[in-house]
Structure 1
Amino acid sequence: MSQKSSYQPPYTITPEILNRVAAISEAVGRLTVLTDQARALRLRGINRIRTIHGSLAIEGNSLSEAQITAILEGKHVIAPPREVQEVKNALAAYDRFETWKPETEKDLLEAHRILMSGLIDAAGLYRRRGVGVMAGQQVIHMAPPADRVPHLMADLFDWLAATDAHPLIASSIFHYEFEFIHPFADGNGRMGRLWQSLILARCNPLFAGIPVESLIFEHQAEYYHAIQESTRQTDSAPFIAFMLRMILDTVTVSTPQVNPQVTPQVGELLAAIQGEMGREALQFILGLSDRKSFRERYLKPALADSLIEMTIPDKPNSRLQKYRLTDKGRQWLEQHGGG
């Protein structure tokens, strides 16, 4: 058992924060039920690309998700060498993600060494000089002096190991305090976001595959404002509330939404599909001779609601075209006693 830390970061638990924790917990519970292992792994792969893209884009990296995927697959990408290096480092860091413990300082230093390798001289080492936090051309925060960094980080890790705060709250507090201390010469933003993801993933592995980074990228000005506001108030509640809203929005988007207004005809079609099937086979099973009626009342609504998908989407009229259930279609069947 760890000792209760004497250091306590200043934060207030507001009703807004509690409500968001409850909403996230409920949404994650639904997502856990709906996500089978194969789908979880596939989602994690897709979302890892989105996470890396979001985190690096916040820092000014211009590579697209498609280019990041190409680098992951070992393909040559024409782009600024530094930006390619940032992506390779981020991919290497996420490969090690499962092995790190959030409350272990040497793991944080190793993560920084991997993330910033070839980008700065002091990769994996705390800074030796003063730094300011920039938002564009504006200095929004002067970080504590460099000689205080090891002590401040030791206090923060002690607190993280001992706290009984909910992981959603604790991870947001750690993220804010980390950005306030700004322990490295560079790479603090991506490290803070990585470490919050790590704390959350220890609470529920699903968080490892939820791309909060891409939403933060879309709300970048608010991200910096929440940091500034927490510093102004000497209370990380504004930042906690902001991060919980980002997490809630991401989890909600990640949860498959099933349209309950499925017509009886579409329901029959979903129940009839086994694997991949062509139009004629489906019409035969459903006992339908009218091709136009089948297309208008069965096929088109099911495709429009993403309950089924084409095997050859770029050639919708191909004679080899077949149809299969999507995750959403399978989920609808499970909920309605089919499949």
Structure 2
Amino acid sequence: MTTHPAPAIPPEILNRVAAISEAIGRLTVLTDPARSLRLRRINRIRTIHGSLAIEGNSLTEAPFTAILEGKQVIAPPREVQEVNNALAAYDRLETWKPGVEKHLLEAHRILMSGLIAEAGLYRHGGVEVLHMAPPAHRVPHLMNDLFGWLAVTDAHPLIASSVFHYEFEFNHPFADGNGRMGRLWQSLILARWNPLFADIPLESLIFEHQAEYYRAIQDSTQTTDSAPFIAFMLRMILDTVTSSTPEVTQEVTPAVQLLSVLAGEMTRQQIKEALGLKDDEHFRKAYLLPALDAGLIEMTITDKPRSSKQKYRLTDKGALLIIPATAVRPRPA
């Protein structure tokens, strides 16, 4: 059984979990698959650039794009190697499971290939970090314990991923590459909760708040409580999925506009008038049918679609855009 204590969960953290869940629910419903594919490449570059910049890589986003396109870049070979490795690792993200230790070792091998001798292996010696890292001989046991905790915890993924990230950084299991691995694995845990996290450039915002990132780690270490780090990471996540990355925010479609006027059960004519529309065919094709096809609304008389008494109401999926998500499952203290 794990020896990692469950952190105390203050209201600040619970409130952020609820706010993030609401924002992610909205983005998930509103995601346009075609647009998502276009954004994935942009956000993937921003993610990798942010993670490597935290570790001292000096390349800007432009060379990252050039490397991704297979173009030659004039830059320090080590930094180009870091970019190529990171691109390869994030391309594998969907194939790894966060609870499988050998997948973490494989990810480290890809991330650090050609950069250190112990790529894909836990460290065999001590490391110089801001805190007293555990001795190398204890690392395998500590990591096995951490994966055991991840397998049994009932904490909300937002909290569990942050706890894992902090404990990983405290253990500092590798000779190098611990920061980028910790952030990668938190993203993986979150992506398994909601695939949208695979395309959210969280790393970019952490880079902008790099000093706070390290201070949160120190604060948690000094207080032997991961809550300060959890609070910081949730603030970064919330900022990323709401206001700090406009590219992630989906445009308000006519189908979503329809939801804003739908109160209880309404007829087709009532909805059209509430929207201030006059053309029936435009309303049907641009508003009503897309909302039905997306599962945002439903008919009240499903067996008679053309009934003169037909009305429409919100589905649970449509309600996500209006009703804040409040269901969180923090692990009991």
The equivalent of 1:104 in structure 2 is 100
Residue 24 of structure 1 and its aligned partner are, at CA, apart by 0.3
The equivalent of 2:77 in structure 1 is 81
**Residues 9, 173 of structure 1: 8 Å contact kept:** no
C-alpha separation between the residues in 2 aligned to 1:21 and 1:12? 14
Q: Is 1:95–2:91 an aligned residue pair?
A: yes
The equivalent of 1:181 in structure 2 is 171
Residue 257 of structure 1 and its aligned partner are, at CA, apart by 6.5
Match runs of 1:127-276 below 5 Å: 127-133=123-129, 140-253=130-243, 254-256=248-250
Q: Is 1:38–2:34 an aligned residue pair?
A: yes
Residue 142 of structure 1 and its aligned partner are, at CA, apart by 1.9
**Cα RMSD for the two superposed structures:** 1.9
**Residues 108, 177 of structure 2: 8 Å contact kept:** yes
Alignment partner of 2:126: what SS? Answer: coil
C-alpha separation between the residues in 1 aligned to 2:166 and 2:5? 10
User: Unmatched 5+ residue regions in structure 2?
Assistant: 258-274, 280-320, 322-333
User: Unmatched 5+ residue regions in structure 1?
Assistant: 134-139, 261-266, 272-334
**Identity in percent:** 81
Amino acid at match of 2:168: F
C-alpha separation between the residues in 2 aligned to 1:247 and 1:132? 29
Amino acid at match of 1:98: E
Alignment partner of 1:75: what SS? Answer: coil
Amino acid at match of 1:39: R
The equivalent of 2:289 in structure 1 is none
Which structure has more RCO (C-alpha within 8 Å, separation ≥ 6)?
Answer: 2
**Residues 31, 250 of structure 2: 8 Å contact kept:** no
C-alpha separation between the residues in 2 aligned to 1:38 and 1:165? 33
State the TM-score, normalized to the length of structure 2.
0.74
C-alpha separation between the residues in 1 aligned to 2:5 and 2:205? 26
Alignment partner of 1:141: what SS? Answer: coil
C-alpha separation between the residues in 2 aligned to 1:194 and 1:68? 18
Match of 2:48 among 34, 46, 52: 52
C-alpha separation between the residues in 2 aligned to 1:32 and 1:104? 27
C-alpha separation between the residues in 2 aligned to 1:179 and 1:226? 11
C-alpha separation between the residues in 2 aligned to 1:33 and 1:192? 29
Amino acid at match of 1:197: S
C-alpha separation between the residues in 2 aligned to 1:257 and 1:183? 42
The equivalent of 2:286 in structure 1 is none
Residue 8 of structure 1 and its aligned partner are, at CA, apart by 2.9
Amino acid at match of 1:100: W
Alignment partner of 1:142: what SS? Answer: coil
Alignment partner of 2:92: what SS? Answer: helix
State the TM-score, normalized to the length of structure 1.
0.72
C-alpha separation between the residues in 2 aligned to 1:224 and 1:89? 24
The equivalent of 2:23 in structure 1 is 27
C-alpha separation between the residues in 2 aligned to 1:206 and 1:244? 16
Range 10-19 or range 198-207, more displaced = 10-19
Residue 256 of structure 1 and its aligned partner are, at CA, apart by 3.6
**Residues 2, 146 of structure 2: 8 Å contact kept:** no
Query: Deviation per CA, 1:203-253, whole angstroms, max 9, x where unpaired?
Result: 000000001100000000000000000001100000000000000000003
**Residues 162, 233 of structure 2: 8 Å contact kept:** yes
**Residues 48, 83 of structure 2: 8 Å contact kept:** yes
Amino acid at match of 1:99: T
C-alpha separation between the residues in 2 aligned to 1:111 and 1:38? 28
Query: Deviation per CA, 1:47-73, whole angstroms, max 9, x where unpaired?
Result: 000000000000010111111010000
Q: Is 1:67–2:57 an aligned residue pair?
A: no
Match runs of 1:291-310 below 5 Å: none
Amino acid at match of 1:212: L
Residue correspondences, number: 254
Match runs of 1:272-287 below 5 Å: none
